[in-house]
């Protein structure tokens, strides 16, 4: 009975929000769903990073926008390793995923966002991913101050339990059912993504971008937390130099000397696109990724470049991250480990609305795994020191925006593992990656509105 009541409540809430949309229609009868200072989740959001300070949408009262993302993949991957212990995989469909998006224009220059995962690889039940309040002007305060107006012409403020703006790669990643901004199927091997209680202040003028952020370094909130606050920031330049050429260069930094329960390389709770790869039994929702396990402290730097000339675009990433786990921090004279990542995407978009694209991405991540020890079933103890390992991925992709809200893409993926042979003489799960490789094709259909 309670479940039925909850379902009716949610259904009624959605109906009310849809009714709110109906009150904001254009004369043509089409929903006027555009909002101020917004990155849209359809094709218009491709190659959009931070929201700009261009006020292209007028304010005519409170407005509610209800949207969603849906994605479905057919997976045809195969995998092998030295142990020969990997489970059989067959060409079939992955779990359909879905997001619910709610945005509300509360006042002139004030917008609130809420994103809920309705279905994901890691959770098949609905749960809130995060949300934020974004302020782009102070007109709602009726200050009648030219100083305040001039300041907010360049400043944006975001507050919430939200995706932290570390690096540019997260703007091009797939977020559960949202994949419109990603020309490929997978995200990067080191997938920097986290939702934390945070506040970010932006300044943008004449193409220059600056951002300073602080978060409590926690994924799950608790008043008994003993972790320190994270500080992070970004500096960069992004400008359309002429009708044909756009250039963007940014550098980002993230620091925390004593994390609570967050980890920017394990913050995605939705799961990777590569189901069951390199897993002997069951499933690991982060399969196909690297987690350096910097759960105690972290200092990370990401450098990004983006160049678009006509329909040809390049996006590059270099990342250097240092830290250690909680277990390592208790070892005398323990030193930080280092992981690095390099990724390059070359994409060509064509068609009257750039609705077609072909692309290639190379991604490699390398670094030191933590020392491990454990026991075999007979009680014999095994141990292994830090190991330098590497993972490499190649992906070729082709895509089509059937409309700005509907996309179809296909990819060939190959990922290899190097440096894991020493784990074969241990009971570590890293032994599964020795001689490891997976490859094959994937198709994905997505809808976002």
Q: Tens of pLDDT along 392-402?
A: 999 999 999 99
- The mean pLDDT of the chain is 91
235 touches 253 (CB < 8 A) = no
Cα separation of 192 and 373, whole Å?
27
Block residue for tokens 């370094």: 217
pLDDT score of 21: 47
At 17 the pLDDT is 44
The token pair at 12 is 């009624």
CA 279 to chain centre: 23
pLDDT, tens digit (0-9, with 9 covering 90-100), for 431-442:
999 999 999 999
What is the phi/psi pair of residue 425, to 5°? -95, 15
Rg of the chain in Å (alpha carbons): 23
pLDDT band at 347 (very low <50, low <70, confident <90, very high): very high
Mean pLDDT across 250-255: 98
pLDDT (0 to 100) of residue 366 = 98
Per-residue pLDDT at 31:
58
List the single range of 6-10, 77-81, 388-392 with lowest mean pLDDT: 6-10
Report the C-alpha gap between 74 and 60 in whole angstroms: 44
What gap in Å lies between CA 12 and CA 175, rounded to an integer?
A: 27
What CA–CA distance (Å, rounded) separates 180 from 197?
Answer: 26
Whole-angstrom Cα distance, residue 151 to residue 145? 10
Does position 110 have pLDDT exceeding 50, yes or no?
yes
Q: What percent of the chain has pLDDT over 90?
A: 82
Question: What residues pair up with 341 in beta bridges, in sequence order?
Answer: 319, 365
Per-residue pLDDT at 218 exceeds 90: no
pTM over 0.85: yes
Could you tell me the maximum CA-CA distance found in the chain, to the nearest angstrom? Answer: 77
Span 77-99, average pLDDT: 96
Residue 256 has pLDDT above 70, yes or no: yes
């Amino acid at each position: 009975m309670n479940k039925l009541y909850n379902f009716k409540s949610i259904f009624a809430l959605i109906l009310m929000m849809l009714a709110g949309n109906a009150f904001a229609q254009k004369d043509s009868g089409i929903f006027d769903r555009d909002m101020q200072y917004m990155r849209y989740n359809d094709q218009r959001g491709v190659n959009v990073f931070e929201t700009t300070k261009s006020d292209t949408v007028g304010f005519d009262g409170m407005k509610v926008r209800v949207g969603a993302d849906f994605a479905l993949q057919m997976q045809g991957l195969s995998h092998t390793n030295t142990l020969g212990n990997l489970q059989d995989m067959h060409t079939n469909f992955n779990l359909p995923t879905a997001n619910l998006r709610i945005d509300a224009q509360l006042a002139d220059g004030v917008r609130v966002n809420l994103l809920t995962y309705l279905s994901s690889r890691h959770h098949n039940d609905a749960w809130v991913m995060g949300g934020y309040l974004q302020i782009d002007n102070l007109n709602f305060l009726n200050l009648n101050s030219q100083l305040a107006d001039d300041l907010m012409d360049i400043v944006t403020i975001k507050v919430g339990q939200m995706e932290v703006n570390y690096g540019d790669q997260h703007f091009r990643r797939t977020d559960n059912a949202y994949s419109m901004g990603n020309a490929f199927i997978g995200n990067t091997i080191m997938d920097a993504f986290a939702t934390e209680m945070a506040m970010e202040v932006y300044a943008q003028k004449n193409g220059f971008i600056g951002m300073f952020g602080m978060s409590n370094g926690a994924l799950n909130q608790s008043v008994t937390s003993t972790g320190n606050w994270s500080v992070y920031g970004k500096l960069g330049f992004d400008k359309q130099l002429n009708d044909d050429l756009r250039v963007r260069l940014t550098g980002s930094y993230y620091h925390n000397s004593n994390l609570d329960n967050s980890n920017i390389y394990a913050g995605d709770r939705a799961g990777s696109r590569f189901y069951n790869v390199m897993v002997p039994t069951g499933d690991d929702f982060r399969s196909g990724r690297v987690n350096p396990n910097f759960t105690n402290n972290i200092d990370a730097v990401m450098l990004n470049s983006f160049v678009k000339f006509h329909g040809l675009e390049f996006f590059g990433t270099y990342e250097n991250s240092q830290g250690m786990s909680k277990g390592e921090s208790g070892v005398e004279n323990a030193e930080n480990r280092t992981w690095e990542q390099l990724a390059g995407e070359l994409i060509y978009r064509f068609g009257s609305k750039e609705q077609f694209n072909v692309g290639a991405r190379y991604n490699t991540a390398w670094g030191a795994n933590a020392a491990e020890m454990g026991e075999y079933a007979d009680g014999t103890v095994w141990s292994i020191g830090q190991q330098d390992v590497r993972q490499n991925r190649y992906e070729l992709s082709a895509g089509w925006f059937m409309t700005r809200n509907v996309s179809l893409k296909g990819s060939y993926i190959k990922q290899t593992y190097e440096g894991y042979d020493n784990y074969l003489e241990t009971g570590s799960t890293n032994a599964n990656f020795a001689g490891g490789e997976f490859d094959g094709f994937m198709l994905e259909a997505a809808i976002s509105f």
